[in-house]
Structure 1
């Protein structure tokens, strides 16, 4: 029995005449933390959106959790995929508890089960349920709102979690703290698959079990952080790594 939970086979994507993805072939195993790294326009967010059917490929096959996206119920599929975005998208008129409970309510969970799940999730993401359950999004900081966004995405215990540059709008200290927390959360959650889009090479290398480096709709290298650093496969990957070395040189200059 295969351990693959996501598979792309010769996937291409066009918007009009503009081909943003040319020929994607990769697979992701259950439980992996994958980071997708690339500059704006590289195709990484389009790839993420194709995983949950928000974008459909122009050609090729996408298999998610043993379902071919061409002939599965996409609404049902999305209910079993957590999705965390940069803008968070919390409903301002709902309490934090109500925001987290949106999908469980749609699925008809009973009130006691929902209440218990909300409290468990708030605790998991480092927010005291007694203090935060009845607050509204505007009463939270950006970092706290992002934690709630993660809790909401985890509400139905999905096997797959998608993150679309969730920390890019946050200040550096909050961002670093959340990176640590999301990595620890993945280690604690049994067999969850995380697919995390970023344009920050340090974030990608820190978080990912494997890093998918994308450029102009193609995968330049899909490897462990160690392999990327020690054996860059293309000139583009080498250039990305050079930016890290430049930062190191800068810091050495000020010591």
Structure 2
């Protein structure tokens, strides 16, 4: 008899526990959806009150995508500053191509051997200019998409996308640092010796003209280095922030799963 009594008691306790959970789910559904849930206690994912009236065959019942949260003033200001930096990266990259390309074109015109340092400067300038142009063009393309808001001057919020971007910009920083070191060692503190006006600048590509031009190019290389260090650091911070947010969401989902299992 005691065994049967214990079984009946256990059955009543389990029944009470299920009814209590069903009532709790019903209250949560009424607060969230404004109407009772399904008979099995599960909330309605698409309440009938939100369906349009006069449904018929062929009617599109797809729900619109939830609106994107508006950007804060701080985010808008940060993305505006990054866009300005990208623009200067693009302009100064073209400037470097013009400064070093003048000598390469001169060597090509007179069938002289191309200097590897000047060719390296051209490659670095082309890679940087192309990268800056991509970051300037992508936001305008993303604005035409309904699911994108052109945040971060073409930089998405996914850590899987931001990490390769940071690696590439870090490579560009190394290239600019090497370029500044090469030509800084050659031209910083060096001034042309002008004997007279006739020998000073005969063709614009003589010793005097090249030294003046390369002395200016060295400081433009330094400015490019600082700009690319700033954008790569910004991408690194965005990647770390996205990783932290992603890890926090995973922990919250795991805690919810543990609560549901209990």
What TM-score range do you get, normalising by the shorter chain? under 0.3
Q: Larger % of strand: which?
A: 1
Q: Larger % of helix: which?
A: 2
Structure with the bigger RCO (C-alpha within 8 Å, sep 6+) is: 1
TM-score, structure 1 normalization: 0.26
TM-score, structure 2 normalization: 0.25
